[in-house]
Structure 1
Amino acid sequence: MIISVSRRTDVPAFYSDWFYSRVKEGYVLVKNPFNYRQVSKVPLTLDAVDCFVFWSKNPANMIDNLQIIDRYPYYFQFTLNPYDDKIEKNVPKKSRIIDTFKKLSDKIGPNRVIWRYDPIIITKAVSEEYHYKYFEVLSSKLQDYTSKCIISFVDFYPKVRKGLEKIGAFEISDEDKVRIGRRLGEIAEAYSLKIETCAEEIDLSQFGIQHGRCIDPHLIEEISGRKIKDGKDKNQRKACGCAASVDIGAYNTCMHGCVYCYANYSSSVVNGNMTLYDVNSPLLCSSITDEDAITGKNS
């Protein structure tokens, strides 16, 4: 079983102590976001976990205690974008994030730290030329600390459209994606970085950009040394190439405050959930009631 930690929130940034406590206990409870009374008990023992895949914008709090999961296969999807606090409100300064990226890579190896440059957002202030400039700046700083960059283009989901329109974000056409892909591909090649897309239908292979698999069974096999089931994750978008995984996060618990985030309904909901955080609870920012039904998840 591959454990996603997490598409729903930034566990490494805000809840690493909780995650480590769950590993020590050997299980975690996860509420079904579509049926809140349905709760899954997910084993986190060595024999149950094929790999942990971490998703984060700032895993600094997690790095010093990684020895707790030394015996587990794992890698990081590390998002590092060129945006300021108008778009990513509570993400630390880029210089600090770059230092964290390098520190993590030095500790676990560049093949286990995947750089995410996503989503690509275009506004009057954040133009295509702005992206080309800062993608090259970041590529030059990260080239020795990762081998791959994953990109995607912003989606105007209903729950994020208002925030994107507020910052003046433009819809990005396929023609735009081809033009941007061509230039980013050229920059990445100059720094010996491989580029893949995340859940994008458009074909950019002519620029050396392939469709990616963020939860990548081939990488997991390389890290773990054992064969991994290669079934597609049916719970993701059609264009997503990820292998099936179990996500142990919770929506409405991320405090980065990014305007493009699909995982938070509002800051007030996030703040309310934060009052429920208990590092020793089997549930993240929640609790079990008499109405909840707990079932096991073994695969």
Structure 2
Amino acid sequence: MIINTGMRTDIPAFYSKWFMNRIRAGFVLVRNPYRPDWITRYELNPEVVDCLGFCTKNPAPMLKHLDELKAYHQYWFVTITPYGRDVEPNVPPKETVMQDFITLSKTVGVDSVGWRYDPIFIDSTYTLERHISDFEQMCRMLSGYTHVCVISFIDLYEKVKRNFPQARTVTPQERITIGKAFAEIGRRYGIIIKACAEGNDLAPYGVDCAGCMTHQTFETAIGSHLNVPKKKSQRAECACVLDTDIGAYDTCGHLCRYCYANYNRENVKRNMRLHNPESPFLVGELQKGEVIHQAKQERWTDDQLSFF
């Protein structure tokens, strides 16, 4: 199976000590966000964990632990955008993150790192022209250190509307302009542009619309065929094979204005205060009378079908 660490929060950026403690302990406990009394235990063992999936805006705190994670296959998505602290208050400067991206790529391998440039929104500061210009500058720096850049456009969930009321939907024509320009730039720098849950509208312009965190993504990273069980995706247009997430909502300290995973700043601050790096939970502790359910975990790697 693949252990996902990054759809609810940014574990590498804020909880690397906790994560490494869980790796050393060999297990983690996770509360179901929609049913907090349902607790699942996942074994963190290379015998049943085919890959660790990371999504982060700041890989730096985890770089010193990469040697200790060598027993595991890994795949990293690192989000790097042109936005400043007006939008991403606690994200390091993009120049710093790009340097850390390069260090990460050199360590885990170019097939195990992907760049995310999302969500894309447009306003008077972050114009179409600026997105295209900044994207090319980033491609120039990251060329050779990743083969993939995933893009998506802002989704105006209720949380996003509340925390970022100025945001507006990107129009179909703006999407085409960006998709076409990014695909052309990507070709020049050896970077395939993939769209995340955006349908097939950008396919005619050279964007790969088959999905981002796909079966093939992880097979390439691992170097072997994966027998991934079929699952029902939360969104019909999503081809993501990531399912098991050990994170928790309302815990990401980046406090990006477009974030769908944080309800508000007060919740985040409270949960970060409750975080204990020694706890098996990302937030809180096991309460008296609570029952732990053991996850059914199976190895997906087909050792008979290696890509190498």
Report the TM-score when normalising by structure 2: 0.92
CA deviation string 1:86-144 (max 9, x = no partner): 11111011221111111111112222110000000111111111100100111111112
Match of 1:83, SS state, is coil
Q: Deviations over 1:202-256 (max 9, x none)?
A: 4211122112433332232233343313345525322111114310001111000
- Cα–Cα, structure 1 residues 259 and 233, in superposed 2: closer, same or farther, change >3 Å? farther
Partners of 1:115 and 1:212 in 2: how far apart?
16
Paired residue type of 2:22: R
**Unpaired stretches in structure 1, ≥5 consecutive residues:** none
Whole-Å separation in 2 of the counterparts to 1:235 and 1:290: 34
- 1:253-281 per-residue CA deviation (whole Å, 9 max, x = no partner) reads 10001001011111111111111111111
| Separation in 1, partners of 2:46, 2:190 | 35
**Which consecutive residues of structure 2, in runs of 5 or more, have no partner in the other structure?**
298-308
Q: Which amino acid aligns with 1:270?
A: V
1:205 equivalent to 2:203? Answer yes
Q: Determine the C-alpha separation between the residues in 1 that align with 2:234 and 2:122.
A: 25
Q: Which moved more, 1:21-30 or 1:225-234?
A: 225-234
Q: Which runs of 4+ in 1 moved over 6 A?
A: none
Partner of 1:93: 93
Counterpart in 2 of 1:178? 176
Contact 1:213–1:243 at 8 Å: present in 2 too? no
Query: Which moves more between the two structures, 63-72 or 227-236?
Result: 227-236
RMSD: 1.5
Query: Does 2:79 correspond to 1:79?
Result: yes
- TM normalised by structure 1 equals 0.95
* Residue in 2 that maps onto 1:127: 127
Separation in structure 1 between the aligned mates of residue 34 and residue 267 of structure 2, nearest angstrom: 17
In structure 2, give the amino acid aligned to 1:219: T
* Identity between Structure 1 and Structure 2 (%): 38
SS in 2 for 1:68: coil
CA contact (8 A) 1:10 1:56 kept: yes
Q: Which moved more, 1:176-185 or 1:221-230?
A: 221-230
- CA distance in 2 between counterparts of 1:80 and 1:67 reads 24
Which residue number in structure 2 is paired with residue 256 of structure 1?
254
Give the aligned length.
297
